[in-house]
Structure 1
Amino acid sequence: MTDSNVTRRHVLVLGGLTLGVGAVTFAGPGPAWASTAAAGAELVPVAASPVAVLAKVGTEPAAFPRQLAVQVQHSGTDLPAGTQVAISYDPRVYAPLPSAVATVGTRRLHTTSTIATDPETLVTTCTITLAEALPAGNDPVVVVGTASPVLYPRDLVAGPADATAAVGHKDTKPGGRRSLRPSRPHAFGGVATPWGLEVSGVWNRYEWADGKRWYYYPTRITLSSVGPGTTPVAASFSVALDPQVVSDVEIVGARLNDMRHDAGVRLLSDTRTASLFETRWVTRVKLKAGDRLDLELEVRTRRPTGDLLTVKHPTVNLIDMGNHVSQRLTGRTTMSRSDSTWA
Structure 2
Amino acid sequence: MNDSKVTRRQVLVLGGLALGVGAVTVAGLSGPAWADSAAADVVLVPVGASPVVVLPGVGVQPAAFPRQLAVQVQHAGTDLPAGTEVAVTYDPRLYSPLPAAVATVGKQRLHTTSTITTDPRTTLATCTVTLAEAVAAGSDPVVVVGTAYPVLYPRDLVVGPADATAALGRKNVKPSGRRSLQPHRPSTFGGVATPWGVEVSGVWSRYEWENGKRWYYFPVRVTLHSVGPGPAPAAASFSVALDPQVVRDVSITTARLNHKVHDAGVRLLSHERTASLFETRWSTTVKLKSGDRLDLGLEVRTRKLTGDLQTIKHPSVGLIGMGDHATQRQTGQNLMSRTDAVWE
TM-score, normalised with respect to structure 2? 0.91
Task: Tell me the equivalent position of 2:343.
Answer: 342
Q: Please, which moves more after superposition, 280-289 or 46-55?
A: 46-55
Shift in Å, 1:65: 1.0
Between 1:110-119 and 1:322-331, the stretch displaced more is 110-119
Match of 2:271 in 1: 270
- Residue in 1 that maps onto 2:129: 128
Q: Matched residue of 1:26: which SS?
A: coil
CA distance in 1, matches of 2:19, 2:245: 42
Give the equivalent residue in structure 1 for 2:29: 26
Matches within 5 A, 1:1-343: 14=20, 19=25, 24-28=27-31, 31-343=32-344
Alignment partners' CA distance in 2, 1:16 and 1:131: 18
Shift in alpha-carbon separation, 1:159–1:201, aligned structure 2, 3 A: same
Amino acid in structure 1 at the alignment position of 2:126 = T
Q: Is the 8 A contact 2:91 2:124 kept in 1?
A: yes
After superposing on structure 2, the runs of 4+ consecutive aligned residues of structure 1 that deviate more than 4 Å are 12-18
Deviates more, 1:248-257 or 1:112-121: 112-121
The aligned residue for residue 7 of structure 2 is none
The sequence identity of aligned pairs, in percent, is 71
**How many Å apart are 1:174 and its aligned residue?**
1.4
CA contact (8 A) 2:156 2:330 kept: yes
For residue 6 of structure 1, what is the aligned residue in structure 2?
Answer: none
Specify the code of the residue in structure 2 equivalent to 1:211.
G
Give secondary structure in 2 for the equivalent of 1:19: coil
| Conserved? CA contact 1:217–1:241, under 8 Å | yes
Q: Give deviations 1:273-307, integer Å, cap 9, x for gaps.
A: 11111000011111111110000111111112322
Cα displacement (A) at 1:108 = 1.9
What is the rounded CA distance, in whole Å, between the counterparts of 1:55 and 1:103 in structure 2? 34
What residue identity is the alignment partner of 1:275?
A: S
- RMSD of aligned residue pairs (Cα, Å): 1.8
Q: Given residue 301 of structure 2, which amino acid in structure 1 is its aligned partner?
A: R
8 Å CA contact 1:53, 1:157 repeated in 2: no
Deviation string 1:175-204 (CA, Å, 9 cap, x unpaired) is 222111111112211121111111111111
Query: Does the 8 Å CA contact 2:267/2:284 hold for their aligned counterparts?
Result: yes
2:218–2:315 CA contact under 8 A, matched in 1: yes
| Paired residue secondary structure (2:238) | strand
Structure 1: gaps spanning 5 or more residues: 1-11
131-140 vs 85-94, greater mean Cα deviation:
131-140
| 1:18 Cα offset (Å) | 5.0
Q: Distance in 2 between matches of 1:62 and 1:16?
A: 32
d(CA) in 1 for partners of 2:37, 2:200: 54
Distance 2:116 2:306 in 1: 62
Give the superposition deviation at 1:51: 0.8
SS at match of 1:115: strand
The answer (yes or no) to whether the contact 1:90–1:160 under 8 Å persists in 2 is yes
Summarize deviations over 1:15-49 as a string: whole Å, max 9, x none.
Answer: 799517xxx33211xx3111121331000112311
Q: CA-to-partner distance for each residue in 1:191-242, whole Å, 9 max, x for gaps?
A: 2111111111111111222222221111100001111110000010000111
Q: TM-score, normalised by structure 1?
A: 0.91
C-alpha distance in 2, partners of 1:81/1:229? 52
Which amino acid is 2:28 matched to?
T
Post-superposition offset of 1:158: 2.5
Between 1:259-268 and 1:74-83, the stretch displaced more is 74-83
The alignment covers a number of residue pairs equal to 327
- Stretch of structure 1 that moved more, 239-248 or 106-115: 106-115
In structure 2, relative to structure 1, the CA distance for the partners of 1:102 and 1:81 (3 Å cut) is same
Rounded to whole Å, the distance in 2 between the matches of 1:313 and 1:321 is 24
Where do 5+ consecutive residues of structure 2 fail to align? 1-17
Cα distance in 2 between the residues matched to 1:198 and 1:32: 42
Which structure is higher in RCO with an 8 Å CA cutoff and minimum separation 6? 2
Query: Alpha-carbon deviations, 1:234-293, whole Å to 9, x = none?
Result: 010000111111111111110001000000010000001111110000111111111100
Q: Do the aligned residues in 2 keep the contact of 1:33 with 1:176 (CA within 8 Å)?
A: no
